[in-house]
Structure 1
Amino acid sequence: MLKTAYSPYWLILCLVLGLVYAYMLYSRKKEPWTPVWNKVLFVLRFLVVSIIGYLFLEPFLNIQKTTSEPSKIIFLWDDSESLSKSENDLQIYWQELQQLRSDLEDKKGVDIPILGLNGNVLSEEDSIKNDRKESPLNAAIKNTGESFDNKLISEVILFSDGIYNQGISPDYYAFPFQLSTVGLGDSTQKKDVVLQQIRYNKVAYQGNQFPVEADILHTGFEGENSRVSLRNNGEIIAQKLVGFKNEREVSTVQFLVDAEKTGFQDYTVEVEILEDEFNTQNNSKNAYINIVEGKKNILLLAPYPHPDIKALSAAIDGNDNYDFTLAIDGISEENVKKLDEYDLAILFHLPNIKNSFDSEIRKLKNAETPLWFVTGSQLNFRRHNELNESVDLVPSSESDEAFAYVNTNFELFELSNEQEEILDELPPASMPFAKHNFHPLSKGLFMKKVGNVKTEEAVFVFYNNDEIRQATLLVQNFRIWRMVEYLNTQSHDFFDDWVMKSIRYLTAKNQKDRFKVFPKKEAFSDNEEVDFQVEIYNEVYDRIYGIPVKLELKSSNDSIYNFEFTPDRLKPDFVVGNLPGGIYEYSATTTIQDRAFESVGQFVVEEFDIESQNLQADFDLLARTAQKNQGKFFYSNQTDDLRDYLNAKEYPRILSGESETVPLTQNIIPYLLIFLLVIGEWFIRRYFGSY
């Protein structure tokens, strides 16, 4: 359809302009041509002027295009290690799957890509390598749907053992497409003892005792006993005997350990291997605990009771490494000790218009005590902006119910991918509607998400100018996160973790050294690269580059790694790469203006072998997942049934239309038409001798 950028009424003006121009040229003069030719010339000039005028209205064509695409059946293959450890006929089944794919594509005209759990294309692989270190089944299915247009997806077939060890269960939500499942692996219950998990605080304080708890699941060893040992750096420091009373049960063993030597300590919990045990790779786990000097004192000031305070208090007070003081105006303000003893003050809905705890807040600010602001109603915006270096709040009483997501560019500390997924499933909370002004040094951990749209508005930020550290949480009623997380996962791990990691960062001391080399985080897994942040300063503390650095790493088994590098503006940091598990000491040296500098420290590389912990396939989970998504469940030996099931369905090609706007001014046809009309008029006039 032909349209213009302006009102169609302007077309009348173009026609009038053409008529007036042609009338003035051919109505009054006596020319050497007949009246018939005069009318022809009148029409030609009318058309030329009208068309030129019409082109000034910016006409365009709306072209409707229809495309036809084949339907898709997506084969989602679980390429995790647990399958290769438990399924002996994996390669045979892979060949059957490739043949099934080829037959269906030829017979039904359907497109069948084979994808791995992270979306990698496996369709052309002659043999399959199941070497993925984790099984995020729910995320893999969800991402598969997001990678394709749902209208094109006829069905997704998940080939898996049903074992997931990252994220939530795949049967938790229904997906927006039909999903069937095929059970691989061995679901037979075997005699086995599994060290399911160990619980411990990653930081303990010297001189204290800290617990290490182990959950041990046994199957088939009723009436037998097993010895559980705790080792520190290879030496047995405690042992306990656990008895298995029932045919299948979980037993919990707790060790109380003295925190003696500072630095990272390697504790290993080992369960004795019993006769006829099916899987002996899941009998031990390591705990790397950082022993530091002295407890930290945390103060929370609040003008009134609030449910959010209870959520924060539960996360902090449950950690033995911190002394926590809660003071509420008019209720428990006498709890405040000497202000210079606190390592962090949390100002909950403070400073407020009633000036609650105003004197205490001034003293904390003057002492450069790290401050964590939690904004809320009745806030004194002017006073807040005087105290808060990280953000200037724009006065506003409006709020917005929105979701939060983790900023992947945040580098001060790390939340795991699983925790990011948990946050994605949590309900919205109250966040500011106004857009506040953040300091350039502020770094956002949580960002605002409206519906499915991820904005660039931070709602939890950290600030550090090498003198003071601050944080600002622009979220109210966040207690619902802790409540819903427990409903979803039966734990508060995510909520407590981001609270405690925030406190650990805020209570860490700033060091104004001219040479700093430190790992991006304290603990890495052996399947990720270890990288170091490098900072070099001159005498006036301006950052400088181009100075060679030597780095030596020494592992707990006495292996030594040496590196040399020169940081520059484009690559200021240094990536070591993957390292074996263990505790590492590092020493970095450099020379700045003929003066030697050294930076030393520790970090941990944890062995990531979660796929060996559970090798028993969960076909019940796969069946529930298929049922919830209008699909069917098949065993691995039912390839013919799967073939019949897919052959019985029709897969029509999917028609999709799109509208394309083509400006007429970019088309040669109107200009060619004008040229022909002008040439025609010129030829007639020339023929009769007018020119």
Structure 2
Amino acid sequence: MQTETLLYIILAGIVALLFALFQYYKKEKSMSKLNMLFSFLRFISVFSVLLLLINPRFEKISLSVEKPNLVIAVDNSSSIKHLKQDKKTTEFIQKLSNNNDLKNKFNLEFYTFGESLKALDSLTFIEKQTNIYSAFSQLTQVFKQTTSPTLLITDGNQTYGNDYQFITSTYNQPIYPIVLGDTITHTDLKIEQLNVNKYAYLKNKFPVEAILVYNGSDNINTNFVVTKGNTTVYSKAVNFTKSINSKVINFTLPANSIGVSNFKATLMPLENEKNTINNSKNFAVEVINQKTKIAIVSNFAHPDLGALKKGIESNEQRSVFFLNPKESINQINDFQLFVLYQPNDSFKSLFKILEEQNRNKFVVIGAKTDLYFINSLNTSYDFEITNQTENYQAELNINYSPFLIDDINFESFPPLESNYGSVIFSVPFQTILNKTINRISTNEPLLATFEKNRNREAVLFGENIWKWRAQSFINSKSFNEFDNFIGKLIQYLASNKQKSRLNIDYESFYNGSSNIVIKAEFLDKNYVFDTRETLNITVVDNISKEQKTFPLILKNNNYQVDLSSLPPSEYSFIIKATNENLSKSGSFQILEYNVEQQFLSANVTKLQKLATNSQGDTYFIDHTDELVNTLLNDNRYTPIQKSSKNTIPLIDWKYLLAIIALSLGIEWFLRKYNGLI
């Protein structure tokens, strides 16, 4: 407590005493026992009031010791079991967790990683993918402000993601890789990569690119073979040397039948080859009989046109052509869908023909659109013309029912430039995206669809959608989410199928290492998304005839089921609604491929670079005895004593108010009892 505050308290006591004596001594000229009691009560009341005004405080300093964190990140992917390092890893983790010296010096934090980072619960070594970079990115957020040396227990083989050896630019902690697996370089042949389109067209040939790699010092000869069932469809002799250790083979295969065609590429193994799993890769191509042709009609160039073309053509079943309004009239029968970008009076004849033929279209309205022309067409919507524009952001309508829409974080997208004013629809419509300003909804559509006379139409009330595609890449490091969104919209517009109450979304085939998720949407009789229904999927293995039933889980605006646990095979399925007689069926294939089994040894080089760049050190799982001593003796990881100073009131004001009320109450009661009031 400060000296100044102490002097104020003494002064307050003197003032309170003088005030009390003045009240009951000077005035009454006597000091009876009753007056002495009154003086004491008055002193207590006045002194308490003055203390409340002074509010004396004192400073309390508390000391605490903050131990550094020791982060243990364990690779939980199936490659650890494939390299026969799972038992050693489990024993090492147990040894660390039981070390009392480490627990006294560090806060031990255990994590596992595969596709994502998780707190350690149990080690299963069944993860199908490894992303070390993503694990460190998440650890950066947790341990950014602390001292946290990190043990990375892994074979160093990453199946996807950014190169983790450069994570030290953002993860500023010493990293100690614990190397799992064999470090000896074995003679090995493998198919490094197969590049093939997902779709092909009937009676055409589709290209395939194979990247072949050889690790060894001898000159060898082998064959590269592609088979379909028991039939060899392609074969080529290849040879490798120590210096020429990779080959790229480009060839084409015929697409002779509609449906999914399965192929197996094999690089014939050597006699002394230890790992032959990576010598083969399965791939599949879906052969279709028709390609959707889409025309984008515009009078001027704009970045939106390129973004729409990229999004539409991300599906190889579709091709996009740029036309002006005059060219499109002569080729109207060549296209299944027309995208009309910011139309004006020059589009008049095209609009007339599209209306007469009940053709589907996608209209983009922007700042350069002639709204007077649009209103003059007597179309399904009219604009309130203000000759002003505004920037609007998007908000997803989760109740949109015609087809499944995933939320790709629309609210984070840059605003689109749109005409200011209301839009009045003369037909029933459904909104996909609403306009918002500063996250406040305007209840006006930004993207809407409607159906009239058996044709479908979508209207986007804004330009600069190219910024959305760029932001989507920033958010997810890929254009896939945005392109899939555009693809679903185009698929809906290019089809005239009658709306169904049960819709499903799935792929014809999946790679064995990818997530297998089937989505479904259930609508009530008013075609509004119904969250009360229970959906179940029955999956039948067409080869073994084994049957399994799974429930679909409600997530966001659709039902989902994860079938990643199914082994590679051919499957048929049926999704049924429990309360209503509605069902949908389909089929898919899971290709046999485990990317985690493609590795024969640990990637020691990358792990050593990671340790060097982070000022850590590398250890092998069989030689970790020195690791504990290194951590215990490193002066960078000493506990830190921290002091915190808190200013605490000397007296709680609640108690002080109670004392004031009590003393004044007793004084008043006694004066009243003795007839002094």
> Normalising by structure 1, what TM-score?
0.70
What is the CA-CA distance between 1:176 and the residue it aligns to? 3.6
Match of 1:82 in 2: 79
The one of 118, 121, 124 equivalent to 1:120 is 118
Task: Give the corresponding residue for 2:426.
Answer: none
Q: Kindly state the Cα deviation for residue 611 of structure 1 after the two structures are TM-superposed.
A: 0.4
Alignment pair present for 1:533 and 2:520: yes
Residue 583 (structure 1) aligned with residue 570 (structure 2): yes
Residue 462 and residue 200 in structure 1: after superposition, are their counterparts in 2 closer, same or farther (change >3 A)?
Answer: farther
- What aligned pairs does 1:555-594 form with structure 2 within 5 A after superposition? 555-557=541-543, 559-561=545-547, 563=549, 573=559, 575=561, 577=563, 578-587=565-574
Judged with a 3 Å threshold, the aligned counterparts in structure 2 of structure 1 residues 75 and 565 are, in CA distance, closer, same or farther, namely closer
Alignment of 1:437-452 (within 5 A): 441-442=431-432
Match of 1:7 in 2: none
Contact 1:171–1:624 (8 Å) recurs in 2: yes
Residue type at the aligned position of 1:152: T
C-alpha offsets along residues 319-344 of structure 1, whole Å, 9 cap, x if unaligned? 76433211368xxx636753354334
Partners of 1:516 and 1:84 in 2: CA distance: 42
Deviations 1:550-575 (A, max 9, x none): 86544452625265989999998474
Q: Please provide the CA RMSD for this pair.
A: 5.8
- In 2, distance between residues paired with 1:656 and 1:470? 62
* CA contact 2:519–2:560 (8 Å) conserved in 1: yes
Residue of structure 1 in register with 2:247 after alignment: 251
The residue aligned with 1:153 is: 147
Shift of 1:672: 2.4
Alignment CA distance shift 1:493-1:205 (3 Å): farther
SS at 2:108's partner residue? coil
Match of 1:238 among 233, 244, 254: 233
1:137 aligns to what?
132
Checking the alignment, whether the CA contact within 8 Å between 1:553 and 1:584 is kept in structure 2 is yes
Displacement after TM superposition at 1:74 (Å): 0.4
CA contact (8 A) 1:517 1:588 kept: no
Residue 214 of structure 1 is matched in structure 2 by 210
Paired AA for residue 190 in structure 1: H
Q: Which SS does the other structure have where 1:113 is aligned?
A: strand
Alpha-carbon distance in 2 for matches of 1:179, 1:393: 62
The one-letter amino acid paired with 1:369 is N
Return closer, same or farther for 1:211/1:558 CA change in 2, 3 Å cut-off: farther
The offset of 1:116, in angstroms, is 0.7
1:612 aligns with 2:602: no
CA distance in 1, matches of 2:138, 2:332: 50
Shift of 1:377: 6.1
Amino acid at match of 2:362: L
Kindly state the Cα deviation for residue 307 of structure 1 after the two structures are TM-superposed: 5.5
Code of the residue aligned with 1:371 in structure 2: it is: F
Q: Find the aligned partners of 1:64 and 1:359 in 2 and give their Cα distance.
A: 83
1:663 and 1:368 mapped to 2: Cα distance? 78
Deviations 1:603-653 (A, max 9, x none): 333445110122332222222223333433334454244334312324344
TM superposition shift of 1:164: 0.8
Given that 2:74 and 2:154 are in contact with CA atoms closer than 8 Å, whether structure 1 keeps it comes out as yes
Q: How does 1:499-648 map to 2 (within 5 A)?
A: 499=483, 502-503=486-487, 505-508=489-492, 509=495, 511-512=497-498, 516=502, 518-524=504-510, 528=515, 530-533=517-520, 535=522, 538=525, 553-557=539-543, 559-561=545-547, 563=549, 573=559, 575=561, 577=563, 578-587=565-574, 599-607=584-592, 609-648=594-633
Partners of 1:382 and 1:51 lie apart in 2 by: 76
Output the CA distance in 2 between the equivalents of 1:100 and 1:339: 72
CA distance in 2, matches of 1:663, 1:520: 65
Residue aligning to 1:167: 161
User: Deviation digits for residues 289-313 of structure 1, max 9, x if unmatched?
Assistant: 3323311112223443345645665
Task: From the CA coordinates, give the structure whose radius of gyration is larger.
Answer: 2
* Aligned-residue identity in percent: 18
* 1:455-476 Cα distance to aligned partner (Å, 9 max, x none): 999xx99756677464858656
Structure 1 residues 684 and 442, CA gap change in structure 2 (3 angstroms): same
For the 8 Å contact 2:449–2:456, the answer to whether it is kept is: yes
Distance 1:305 1:543, change over 3 A: closer
The one-letter code of the counterpart of 1:244 is N
Please state whether the residue corresponding to 1:611 is helix, strand or coil.
helix
* Aligned equivalent of 1:227, options 217, 223, 227: 223
Q: What is the CA-CA distance between 1:533 and the residue it aligns to? A: 1.7
| Greater alpha carbon shift after TM alignment, 264-273 vs 76-85 | 264-273
CA shift digits 1:237-287 (9 cap, x unpaired) = 512214123325332333423333323332332332332222111222222
Tell whether the 8 Å contact from 2:208 to 2:252 is kept in structure 1 after alignment: yes
Q: Provide the aligned length of Structure 1 versus Structure 2.
A: 624
How far apart are 1:94 and its partner, in Å? 4.4
Partner of 2:7: none
Q: 1:387: how far off?
A: 8.8
Which residues of structure 1 form unaligned runs of 5+?
2-14, 486-491
In structure 2, C-alpha distance between the alignment counterparts of 1:122 and 1:316, rounded to whole Å: 42
CA pair 429-264 structure 1, distance change in 2 beyond 3 A: same
SS of the residue 2:126 aligns to: coil
Contact 1:68-1:654 at 8 Å conserved across structures: yes
* 1:343 counterpart (333, 336, 339): 336
Q: Residues of 2 paired with 1:97 and 1:523: CA distance?
A: 39
* 8 Å Cα contact 1:581-1:606 kept in structure 2: yes
Aligned residue type for 1:71: P
**Matched position secondary structure for 2:125:** coil
Range moving further from structure 2, 638-647 or 613-622: 638-647
Q: Distance in 1 between matches of 2:628 and 2:384?
A: 63
Instruction: Confirm whether residue 202 of structure 1 aligns to residue 205 of structure 2.
Output: no
Q: 1:270 to 1:623 in 2, by over 3 A?
A: same
Q: How far does the alpha carbon of each residue in 1:164-215 deviate from its partner, in whole angstroms, 9 at most, with x for none?
A: 1121111234124213132222233221121222222222333333223222
Q: Distance in 2 between matches of 1:665 and 1:434?
A: 62
- Which residue number in structure 2 is paired with residue 675 of structure 1? 661
Separation in structure 1 between the aligned mates of residue 339 and residue 556 of structure 2, nearest angstrom:
37
The two structures have a TM-score, normalised by structure 2, of 0.71
Q: Deviations over 1:218-249 (max 9, x none)?
A: 222864333333333x2425122141233253
Instruction: Say whether the 8 Å CA contact 1:545–1:569 is kept in structure 2.
Output: no
